Amino acid sequence: MNTSAPLPGSAPDTVTTGPIGGSKKVYVEPTLHPSIRVPFREIAVTDAQTPAIRVYDPSGPYTDSEARIDLAAGLPLVREPWVQARGFQAIEGRTVRPEDNGGVGPDRLVAPCPARRRLRMGRPEAPVTQLEFARAGIITEEMIYVAHRENLGRAEALKDASATIAGAESFGAAIPAFVTPEFVRQEIALGRAIIPANINHGELEPMAIGRNFLVKVNANIGNSAISSGVAEEVEKLVWAIRWGADTIMDLSTGRNIHNIRSWIIRNSPVPIGTVPIYQALEKVGGDPVKLTWEVFKDTLIEQAEQGVDYFTIHAGVRLRHVPLTAKRVTGIVSRGGSIMARWCLAHHKESFLYQRFDEICDIMRRYDVAFSLGDGLRPGSIADANDEAQFAELETLGELTKIAWAKGCQVMIEGPGHVPMHKIKLNMDKQLACCAEAPFYTLGPLTTDIAPGYDHITSGIGAAMIGWFGTAMLCYVTPKEHLGLPDRNDVKTGVITYKIAAHAADLAKGHPAAQVRDDALSRARFEFRWDDQFNLSLDPDTARAYHDATLPKDAHKVAHFCSMCGPKFCSMQITQDLRRDVLAMEAETRAGMATKSREFMEQGAQLYVPSVE
């Protein structure tokens, strides 16, 4: 693991680079599209009969041992030629103002990322968003890119029949055996998938969020007034995508947020989401009552020009919903939701986000910023799950989805929250019905309230289930949820937990090729190829460290046991002996030289009874 140029700000002043142990970055150019280079992570396997396993890789150039990382210059502009060719309008851009950075004085001002980019804006008369291109029948480079990315090594893997998942249940999803660019286009045109890709985010490696694609994971980063600086935040991004986060939300609320965001976006290969109301609130001194449409609109433009790929907009919190929360155990737990509820009640007016929704669409369309329609009234406790406030807002989000679609904008819908297991499925069903199959993006849900410190697990359970039921992207929860700001270890734990949930959902939905990695790891396990087992795991470093805690020697990496059972009690070793005996006896039988009893021959005939479901 090597490190790059120092960043301004507090420790750590470098970001993590270099491949994850046992793997390397590879790029594949789709046939007919040599200018598109789709990244994968390829995990070597020592067994000669098993090809290297290719896995989805959102980590960007940071894990490419050939790449030279220069944070001040930003990442390579992989999308630049595609966007350039679309003839968007060049713009000067809005001038940065002191309040964009929370009015911080020159002594404490973090310098912006020096990387300069051409700024663009779409024109009213020509397609700008991926949705508009899709509807016009145009397959963009982004669509080609995600098609190849989603297939993994699927064409290769599907040669092996075991890659199909018997009896899977996808609850009405329509997952194809093979993803084509045209399939991606159709899904986007129908609103069932989005590619969050601001035209001002040229560093982006495009990805899709939709029920018929792999389940994705979002990680939240961001400072608060209490903690965190710029260097920590950029490293959190790099660290989160290293372990598999597919998108990052920057939820910063402190000072310097404009400039910190410039470092994040210029160095992010994944879509960046934000909640613009947070920065708008900073601009009015933190008092929700003082928020205005003008300040909010200015913030949208500011962030859209920077290249933010999706905005959480809490336009579903309407004045008439607020009283529905009065009897709740935990009221309103969404920050954006509580801010807007306060504004509505203080002014006794309908939310300006709701009333100005058309104008918000027009702004977001110009840059292809996707909507993440916020669930401001999501339940914050088991007691409040699936209540009237929550579902009233969901219905409003359904109305807004149709308006945004009519305006050409891409849309996904945010979901709960805290929901006991028996109420999870209804959330998915209602979301699909209300929002016409727009992708669902849920926080957890947490399946009990009683385990602060372990809410990555209370919510990982709910996330796996709702992912199976059809949620397209899962917003991670870290062990620090409800308690404090996550650190580096918490971010990793949260991401790995959610990669587990997402993968468990892919398996259960019957995503072709999802099981390839499980099977490769299990074969390695059965054959005592310990290094292969570690390298194929979601977190090779931890798997190896846990094993080596009791058996550190190199010789133990091929040992036919571990410290869990010890050498005499290893079932896998006993079974290998067993299989050897079974096969030897079979061979004898076939050769007509059977010395074993007649009984065994009869028994032997049953050896290859086909496996049934």
339 near a second copy, judged by CB under 8 A:
yes
587 near a second copy, judged by CB under 8 A:
no
Q: Report, in Å, the least distance between residue 311 CB and a second copy.
A: 17
Q: Is 473 marked within a binding site?
A: no
Number of shown-chain residues binding a second copy (CB under 8 A): 143
Rounded Cα gap, residues 222 and 296, in angstroms: 20
46 near a second copy, judged by CB under 8 A:
no
| In contact, 296 and 328? CB cutoff 8 Å | no
Sequence letter at residue 335: R
Place of tokens 């030897």: 584
350 near a second copy, judged by CB under 8 A:
no
Instruction: Select 132 or 531, whichever has its Cβ closest to a second copy.
Output: 531
Other CB atoms closer than 10 Å to residue 209's CB: what's the count?
29
| In contact, 494 and 476? CB cutoff 8 Å | yes
Q: Is 482 marked within a binding site?
A: yes
Q: Report, in Å, the least distance between residue 317 CB and a second copy.
A: 11
| In contact, 250 and 273? CB cutoff 8 Å | yes
Distance of CA 275 to the CA centre of its chain: 17
Cis peptide before 76 (omega within 30 of 0): no
Rounded Cα gap, residues 404 and 407, in angstroms: 5
Of 86, 290, 342, 356, the residue at the interface with a second copy (CB under 8 A) is 342
Other CB atoms closer than 10 Å to residue 60's CB: what's the count?
25
Instruction: Select 27 or 546, whichever has its Cβ closest to a second copy.
Output: 546
Annotate each residue in 182-211 with x if it binds a second copy (CB under 8 A) or - if it does not, as one string: ------------------------------
What residues between 301 and 330 interact with a second copy by CB under 8 A?
319-320, 322-330
| In contact, 384 and 390? CB cutoff 8 Å | yes
Residues 365, 369, 372, 377, CA torsion sign: negative
Q: Is 441 marked within a binding site?
A: yes
Instruction: Select 119 or 524, whichever has its Cβ closest to a second copy.
Output: 524
Q: Report, in Å, the least distance between residue 544 CB and a second copy.
A: 9
Indicate the DSSP class of residue 308: -
Of 138, 286, 294, 558, the residue at the interface with a second copy (CB under 8 A) is 286
Q: Is 185 marked within a binding site?
A: no
Question: Which helix (H) or strand (E) is 360 found in, with range?
Answer: helix 357-367
453 near a second copy, judged by CB under 8 A:
yes
Q: Is 418 marked within a binding site?
A: yes
Cis peptide before 93 (omega within 30 of 0): no
Q: Report, in Å, the least distance between residue 214 CB and a second copy.
A: 14
Q: Report, in Å, the least distance between residue 50 CB and a second copy.
A: 12
What residues between 392 and 451 interact with a second copy by CB under 8 A?
418, 420-423, 447-451
Sequence letter at residue 384: D
Of 1, 48, 85, 609, the residue at the interface with a second copy (CB under 8 A) is 609
What residues between 499 and 518 interact with a second copy by CB under 8 A?
499-501, 503-505, 507-510, 515, 517-518
Rounded Cα gap, residues 299 and 276, in angstroms: 6
Kindly give, in sequence order, each residue whose CB lies less than 8 Å from that of residue 533, ignoring residues fewer than 6 positions away: 521, 524, 525, 543
Binding-site sequence positions for Zn(2+)? 418, 482
Binding-site sequence positions? 220, 249, 278, 314, 334-336, 375-378, 414, 418, 441, 482, 562, 565, 570
